[in-house]
């Protein structure tokens, strides 16, 4: 089945690289108009890739923790394209440290991007989706939010928080045909995980039943499915993309 997103407008946060970049390319490949955000100007290069391939894309420099910047992205998108169908809350960071050594700023920074960013972006798109009586909100959690990981109490709290946030919102907005789901990747080969040594990566891979790290394409395909008409009866769910880890 080929997923068709033509006529849909999708906002993807943190789309300059990794999972966000690939999600933008995959959704655009399925026919969506994509709106890409990143903290700096780097999403513009990905938007140019989409346009060069014949798609429609717009890029913004916008920190997801900055309410005004987020509002500007949403207002400009709806003014320009007349609708907003899909939000992918992808922007995320880590600041790893054992709890006793964790500084307040490591805690605050991770909460601001991963959890407050998800809250601000979702709240900003919701008015348009409620008026449309349709919408897809897809947030990227992590296996760490489900099972924990030493040195990542801050990150795990945000990724578990995204699951609770999404399950509550799914119930709030279901009557307006808006679905709210979570994708929980395992270990995915991106810049975020490239600092892990090759020995550690091999160790991880041996603990993954499918025997390899995931790719941004693996995650983007799941997001594309949840954004499509094929997933219209799925809401409040967590879809693990982890090669069978902890299954």
Beta carbons within 8 Å of 240's beta carbon, 6+ residues apart: 143, 146, 184, 185, 186, 247
**Using the rule CB under 6 A, is 163 a contact of ligand NAD?**
no
Query: What is the x/- site pattern for ligand NAD, positions 47-86, by CB under 6 A?
Result: ----------------xxx---------------------
16 vs 128 by CB, closer to ligand NAD? 16
Shortest spacing between CB 235 and ligand NAD, in angstroms: 21
| 23 touches ligand NAD by CB under 6 A | no
Q: Which of 77, 118, 142, 155 is catalytic?
A: 155
Positions 191 through 220 that interact with ligand NAD (CB under 6 A): 191-193
Burial letters for 174-196: b for 16+ Cβ neighbours within 10 Å, e otherwise?
A: eeeebbbbbbbbbbbbbeebeee
155 catalytic per annotation: yes
Using the contact rule CB under 6 A, the part of the chain among 73-81, 170-178, 180-188, 221-229 near ligand NAD is 180-188
Query: Does residue 92 bind ligand NAD (CB under 6 A)?
Result: yes
Which two three-digit tokens encode residue 100? 């006793």
- Residue 91 touches ligand NAD, criterion: CB under 6 A: yes
Query: Applying CB under 6 A, does 38 fall inside the site for ligand NAD?
Result: yes
Catalytic residues: 155
């Amino acid at each position: 089945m080929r997923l068709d997103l033509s006529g849909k407008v999708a906002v993807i946060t943190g789309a300059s690289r990794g999972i966000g970049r690939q999600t933008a390319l995959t959704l655009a490949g399925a026919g969506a108009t994509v709106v890409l955000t990143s903290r700096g100007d780097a999403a513009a290069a990905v938007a140019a890739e989409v346009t060069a391939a014949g798609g429609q894309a717009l890029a913004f420099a916008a920190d997801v923790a900055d309410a005004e910047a987020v509002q500007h992205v949403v207002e400009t998108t709806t003014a320009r394209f007349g609708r907003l169908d899909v939000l992918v809350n992808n922007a995320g960071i880590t600041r790893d440290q054992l709890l006793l050594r964790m500084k307040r700023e490591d805690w605050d920074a991770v909460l601001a991007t991963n959890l407050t960013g998800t809250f601000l972006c979702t709240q900003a798109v919701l008015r348009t989706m409620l008026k449309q009586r349709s919408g897809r909100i897809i947030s990227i959690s992590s296996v760490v939010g489900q099972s924990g990981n030493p040195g990542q109490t801050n990150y795990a709290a945000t990724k578990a928080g995204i699951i609770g946030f999404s399950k509550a919102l799914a119930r709030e907005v279901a009557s307006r045909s808006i679905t709210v789901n979570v994708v929980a990747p395992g270990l995915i080969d991106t810049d975020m995980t490239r600092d892990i040594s090759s020995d550690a990566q091999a160790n991880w891979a041996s603990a993954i039943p499918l025997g390899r790290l995931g790719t941004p394409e693996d995650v983007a395909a799941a997001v594309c499915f949840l954004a499509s008409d094929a997933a219209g009866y799925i809401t409040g769910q967590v879809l693990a993309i982890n090669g069978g880890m902890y299954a």
